[in-house]
Structure 1
C-alpha cells in the first residue's frame, strides 16, 4: 500500500469515528390576521386561542402580504413595532410575484425577538398601500398580540439533550515519555502534510460536470420526490424553479441570484435565447410561482408534465452554441477581442 493511500484510509477511518448528531426542529405554529387584500402571518413555536407562547431565546417571523393589480404600491416595513420590549432580529427585502390575470403579490418577512421574559404585548405599525400611483395611500391597522415569553422548554425533545460530560483528563504522562512524543511529532506532521497534498491533488482532478448534465441529474432526483401532500408539491416546484435558474446562470451567464421572477424573466428576454426557449422558461417559472405563492393545487400528472418540460428545455438549450445564449453585449465584446 502506498503512503498516500495509507494516509487517505487512515483519515477516512478517523472521520467515520467522529460522532455526528442531528437535531430536528419542531414545526412552527401560525397566527393569521386578514384585513381586506392585506394579510399578517406570524410564525411561533406555540399559538393557542390567539395567544402566542415562546422562549426568550426564540424569535417570531412576521410575513406581510398584499395582493392586488399591477399598479399596487406598498411601502416597505422598516420597523414592525415601536415597543421597547421587542427588537428586530432580521429583515428581508420585499418580493413582488406575478399571480396571473394581471395580479401581483407583494410580500416582506421580518423577524422580531423579545428582550425580556414575561407577559408582553406586541403592537404593529400600520401598513401603507395604494391600488395605483394616482390613488391615495391607505393604512391597514393590525391588532396587538399578547405574547407570553418564558425561559422554559415548551416542546421537550430528546434531540435537544446534551451529551454526558466526558471524564476528566488523565494526569500528565511521566517525564521519561515526553521525549518519545517529541520524536514522533515530526513523523505525524509529515504524514499529515502528505495527506493534505494528496487530497488537494485529488480534488483538483475532479472536474465539475457541464451545466446540462448537472441540471438533468437534479431533475431526475426531483422527479422521484413524493407528491402526496401540498407541502410536497410546493417543495417540488421550488426545487424545479431553482434548478432551471441555476442552469441558466451556469450555461448562459444570466444573473439568477437575488432577482425576482419578473426581473429574471426580463433578463431572459434580453438574452439571445430563441423565442421558443424564452416562452418555455416564462411558462415554467410562472407555473412554479403560482404553486409557491398563490397556493395553486396542480395534480400529480401536471407536476410530472412540468418536470418533463424542464428536462426538454435543458436538452434543447444545451445544443445551442455558447454565443447564442449570451447577451448581445457579451457577443459584441467577444467579436471585438477577436
Structure 2
C-alpha cells in the first residue's frame, strides 16, 4: 500500500469522528432545550401570579376603606331662585394638626348682585391660616364667586362649620329685586359636621402608664440619703434647742420694773429687821434711794442718775407723767434720804420705816403700766453679812 492511500484512509476516519461528535452535540442541545423550556414557562407563570396577587391585595385594601376617606370632600349645595351656594370641606376626616380647607362657591345668573359673607364671620373657634376670595364673570353673564378659608382646628373630636349666610339682589328684568321688608334675598349653607381624628391609635386607653417599670433604689444610695436626713434633723433639733434656750434666757432676764424694785426694797427691809443688819442705816438709805431712781428711769424714762435731788425732781416734773401728789411724795422721800446720806444725821429705826413706807407707797401708786426691763445688767441689792458696810452685786 502506498503512502497516499494510507493518508486518505486516515482523513476519512477523522471526518467520520467529527460528524459523529457534531451529531451528539446537536442531540444534547435538543434535549437541554426540551428540559429547560418547561422550567422557564413555570417561572414566567410564577411571576405573573405574584403580580396578580399584589394587584388583588391593593384592590381589596381600596375596596375595604370607608366611603368617607381622609382625603375626600364633604359638600352640600343649596339653591334659591337664580343662585346656587355650595359649601365644601377638605379633608373629610383630618388629623389633629392638619389644615382643613372650607370653600363657599356661589353661582348666580346674569343680572344678580351677590353679597358674600364678611371675613371671619363664622370661624371664631378656628385659627384662620389663609383666606382667598375670587370672582369670575362668564361669557354668558353668569357670576361665580368663591371664598376659600384654610383653617386649623384647635382640638380633636367632633366639630362643625356653622351655616353661612349669602345674600343677593335680583336685578333681572321682570323680577322682584328684594323680598318685602328685606334688603336682600337670603340663602344659608348647611352645617358641615366633621371629626378631627386624634394622632393616638384607637386602642390606646386614656390612662397614662409609665414606659418603664419602677426603678429600685440602690441600698448604698438609700443609706447615704438616710444619713443626710438624720444629719439634717439633728442640726435642726440643735438649732431649735439653742433658739429655745436663748429665748428662755432672755425671757427669764426680763422682769416688771415694779416687781424688780419691790423685791429689792423687801430685801433691804428684811436685812434691817434682822437682829444684826448687814447694811448700816446710812448704806440702807443709799441703796433704797438708788432703787427708786432706777425705777423712775424705767417707769417714766427719766435718765439722770448723776443729778442732785433737786435737779432730778425738776427733770421728772418737766418731762414725765408724774402727778403733783407723786412729785410731792417722791420729793419727801429723796430729801429724807439725802439728810441721812449727806448731812450726817443719825437716823433711827423709825426713820428707816418711814422712808421705806414712802418708797413702797410711791411704787404702789405708780405701778400701773410699768414696763418689763432687762435685769441681766442691773445691780441687785444682796446684803453681805461679812461686811458691816454692805454693798451691791450683780446677779
Q: Please give the TM-score of this superposition, normalised by the length of structure 2.
A: 0.30
Report which structure shows greater RCO (CA 8 Å, sep ≥6). Answer: 1
Q: Please give the TM-score of this superposition, normalised by the length of structure 1.
A: 0.35
